[in-house]
Structure 1
Amino acid sequence: MIYLASPYSHDNEDIRKMRYYDACHATAALMEQGKFVFSPIVNSHPLVRFGLPGGWDYWQHFDVTMISKCDELVVLKLDGWKKSRGINNELKIAKFLGKPITKLFL
């Protein structure tokens, strides 16, 4: 299973929405190739509407667990991915666990 890391947090709500749609697009494209994908953004963005926080501080323990269950981590290279606190932490975790890491452009 692939863990799809992508940037999300931003002060501008429109940018967060676009990042969510881009994560959905990438998830669908990978699934069309027959791959099993977990995207924390696709999973958690809709839950923010129900009062859950959207940042790394809240989701990190979920993400650590999911990265450990996945076979590889794929980084979706959207604008801002290098500065993303979440992605930087996800990369550290994947490296620590010895998971293969690849990068994906839309």
Structure 2
Amino acid sequence: MRKIFLACPYGHADKTVVEQRFEISNAVAAAIARSGSVVFSQVSMSHPINKHLSDLDKAGIGNLWAPIDQVFMDAMDELIVIDEVGWKESAGVAREIEFFKIRNRRVSLWSEVTSEFSA
């Protein structure tokens, strides 16, 4: 059974973009789960909680989630990055890619592996 940490760019000045990224993360996580793989979608988990952290700025939210993400990344065997607009500029995605690459764990882009999770 594959154990996948799902990464997606998240933060954006436009709240509509943030909501779209949340929905995309949920849809991709559902496809991965449906395939029989274990998936942890960081954006799916953190987005509803972030709504209760309005006192934190972008850096504060990142600092809060980094050690939590680390626990889940340690438990996963591979990383799949949802390669939507902004993924290359995302500091969080970059941190997650580095974590998996340093440990010689598989890193893939969703656009490259989508067919592996088709029903």
TM-score normalised by L of structure 1: 0.92
Alpha-carbon distance, 1:36 to partner: 0.8
Q: Which amino acid aligns with 1:20?
A: F
**Which segment is superposed worse, 54-63 or 80-89?**
54-63
- Give 2:11's aligned residue: 9
Any runs of at least 4 consecutive aligned residues in structure 1 with deviations exceeding 6 A, and if so which? Answer: none
Q: Percent identity?
A: 27
Question: Which residue number corresponds to residue 51 of structure 2?
Answer: 49
Task: Note if contact 1:2-1:37 (Cα within 8 Å) is conserved in structure 2.
Answer: yes
1:81 aligns with 2:81: no
Gaps of 5+ in 2: 115-119
Mapped partners of 1:7, 1:21: distance in 2:
12
Question: Which of 35, 59, 70 in structure 2 is aligned with 1:64?
Answer: 70
Q: Deviations over 1:50-70 (max 9, x none)?
A: 226564222111112211110
Shift in Å, 1:100: 0.9
Q: Matches of 1:51 and 1:81 in 2, distance apart? A: 23
Aligned residues: 106
Correspondence for 2:25: 23
- How far did 1:29 drift? 0.8
Q: CA RMSD in A?
A: 1.5
Partner of 1:94: 100
1:48 is displaced (CA, Å) by: 1.3
Q: TM-score, normalised by structure 2?
A: 0.82
Alpha-carbon distance in 2 for matches of 1:31, 1:72: 14
Quick one: distance in 2 between partners of 1:65 and 1:7? Answer: 19
